[in-house]
Amino acid sequence: MSMEISSLTPGVLVDTPAARVAVQPAAGRLSLRARKAALPALGAALGVSLPTRIGQRAAGGGIEAICLGPDEWTILTPADAVAGLLAAGAGVDHPHSLVDISARELTLRIQGPRAADLLTLACPRDIDTIPVGEGRRTVFDGATVVLWRDGENSFRMDIWNSFAPHLARLMGIGARELAAEPA
Amino acid sequence: MLLIHCPYCDETLPEAEFTYAGEAHVIRPPDPSALSDDDWQGFLFIRSNTRGPHYERWRHFHGCGRFFNAVRDTVSDRFLTTYPAGQPRPALETLTAASEDRK
């Protein structure tokens, strides 16, 4: 069987009474690595106050930032703002790395009354321990993903392109199975 | 499944997010070419293979990505503690005392 590396295009993948899974339109993504001392200057340059606790998020000026590790952040932004942010980061006088990773991942939006149950299909972490408005990097059926919890039953999942077709299929099966369960 | 406390994320998480990375506190000799072949072989290959509390490295691979150290009892698989890489090894007496208290 042959499958394209990333055959997914933006649109709804599966829509059942249990959950709806959709591929989000392409967005700009940046990976930031820096030490704590550089944070205030980088935050001022990028226009968002960078969170310091792992899993915490911040938003401002159309961009979203999430802290993924002690020295690692991912920044989501409209695709046309990437060049401007890279230029702004280059002017910061602290050692850091700010890299465009827009082409690396795609995002699924998972929502519906049983969206949290759907994630338990392949995520060993207790989904209930992720507070609304935060996110975590975790594992979903063997692939590293970044899970953003936007609401009680509304999630976004950033997936590396090469894993995306597999996880998308899995989500489709899971959503249909949950919908088929007798009430 | 084991539950492991990541000292960087400060959360106790399922083992599936972590990878094992061998014995901890194995220090690379600063000048390897000054070593005899036997000493170099000892550094490269010889590990303590402890029965009981074992100082070992783990990596929070599907998470913050950091390596950290743990003390795990190789008989019971109980984690006595985890601590960030670079810290001195905690004394075993304090750990076993603390774990007796929990029983």
Mean of the pLDDT values across residues B15-32?
95
Residue B101: per-residue pLDDT: 53
d(CA A138, CA A125): 8
Whose tokens are 């820096």? That residue is A34
Return the CATH number at B13.
Answer: 3.30.2270.10
B103 pLDDT higher than 50: no
The total of structural domains in chain A comes to 2
B99 pLDDT higher than 70: no
d(CA A108, CA A27): 12
B15 pLDDT higher than 90: yes
Q: Is residue A68 a contact partner of residue A51, using CB atoms and an 8 Å limit?
A: no
Q: What is the pLDDT of residues B24-83, one digit of tens each?
A: 999 999 999 999 999 999 999 999 999 999 999 999 999 999 999 999 999 999 999 999
Decide if A129 and B1 are in contact by the 8 Å CB cutoff: no
Written as six digits, the tokens of A32 are: 């930031």
Q: Do residues A76 and A64 share a domain?
A: yes
The total of structural domains in chain B comes to 1
Within a domain: residue A119? Answer: yes
Q: Do residues A95 and A107 share a domain?
A: no
Confidence of residue B98 (pLDDT cuts 50, 70, 90): low
Domain of B10, in residue numbers: 3-101
d(CA A31, CA A14): 30
Decide if B16 and A69 are in contact by the 8 Å CB cutoff: no
Return the CATH number at A153.
Answer: 3.30.1360.120
Q: What is the pLDDT of residues A71-84, one digit of tens each?
A: 999 999 999 999 99
- Last residue of a domain, which of A66, A100, A134? A100
Confidence of residue A8 (pLDDT cuts 50, 70, 90): confident
Return the CATH number at A91.
Answer: 3.30.70.1520
Q: What is the pLDDT of residues A119-142, one digit of tens each?
A: 999 999 999 999 999 999 999 999
Written as six digits, the tokens of B52 are: 């009981």
Here the contacts of B96-100 (C-beta below 8 Å, separation 24 or greater) are B96/B53
**Which residue of B lies nearest to A68 if distances are taken between CA atoms?**
B64
**Which residue of B lies nearest to A122 if distances are taken between CA atoms?**
B16
Q: Is residue A95 a contact partner of residue A36, using CB atoms and an 8 Å limit?
A: no
Within a domain: residue A77? Answer: yes
Q: Do residues A124 and A172 share a domain?
A: yes
Q: Is residue B54 a contact partner of residue B71, using CB atoms and an 8 Å limit?
A: yes
Q: Do residues A111 and A155 share a domain?
A: yes
Q: What is the pLDDT of residues A33-73, one digit of tens each?
A: 999 999 999 999 999 999 999 999 999 888 999 999 999 99
Q: Do residues A49 and A83 share a domain?
A: yes
Which site among B8, B60, B61, B62 would you substitute to test the A interface, given the most A Cβ atoms closer than 10 Å to its Cβ? B62
Phi, psi dihedrals of residue B7, rounded to the nearest 5°: -70, -15
Within a domain: residue A141? Answer: yes
How wide is the angle at C-alpha A139 spanned by C-alphas A135 and A140, nearest 5°?
Answer: 105
Domain of A21, in residue numbers: 11-26+103-180
Whose tokens are 């609401």? That residue is A151
Mean of the pLDDT values across residues A136-161?
96
Task: State chain A's mean pLDDT as an integer.
Answer: 93
Q: How many CB atoms lie within 10 A of CB B22?
A: 9
- A29, with CB counted inside 10 A (0-12, 13-18, 19+), is buried
- Last residue of a domain, which of A46, A74, A100? A100
How many angstroms separate the CA of residue B7 from the nearest CA in chain A?
A: 11
Residue B94: per-residue pLDDT: 85
